[in-house]
Amino acid sequence: MNEDKKKAVQALKTCRGQIDGIIKMLEDGRYCVDVSNQIIAAQGLLKKANKHVLTQHMHSCVREALDSGEKDAKVEEVITILNKLIEK
């Protein structure tokens, strides 16, 4: 597993723990703003993981597609993902 994948997995595992904590906070009736801040932090971890996944994709899958002449499909994939990120 390369470095970007390792970082993505670590961010996702951390986020999973954070989400478990958020659920407990809600069950315990914790202050809504505190819960919201934790949700924002979890979203940040998901964004970080996605950045690592997309970086890995660019360095491997897209590079291979460019080398093999199959670039159009990979470019469209990246455009689709970027559009999803920008629309949010």
CATH number at residue 64: 1.20.58.1000
Closest alpha carbon to 5 in 43, 75, 60: 60
Amino acid code (one letter) for 10: Q
- pTM here is 0.85
Examine the pLDDT at 70 and tell me if it is beyond 90: no
- DSSP states of 21-32: HHHHHHHTT--H
Number of domains making up the chain: 1
Residues 17-65 have pLDDT tens digits of 999 999 999 999 999 999 999 999 999 999 999 999 999 999 998 888 8
Rounded to whole angstroms, the Cα distance separating 73 from 79 reads 10
Closest alpha carbon to 25 in 17, 46, 48: 17
Rounded to whole angstroms, the Cα distance separating 11 from 52 reads 9
| Residue 7 belongs to domain spanning | 3-87
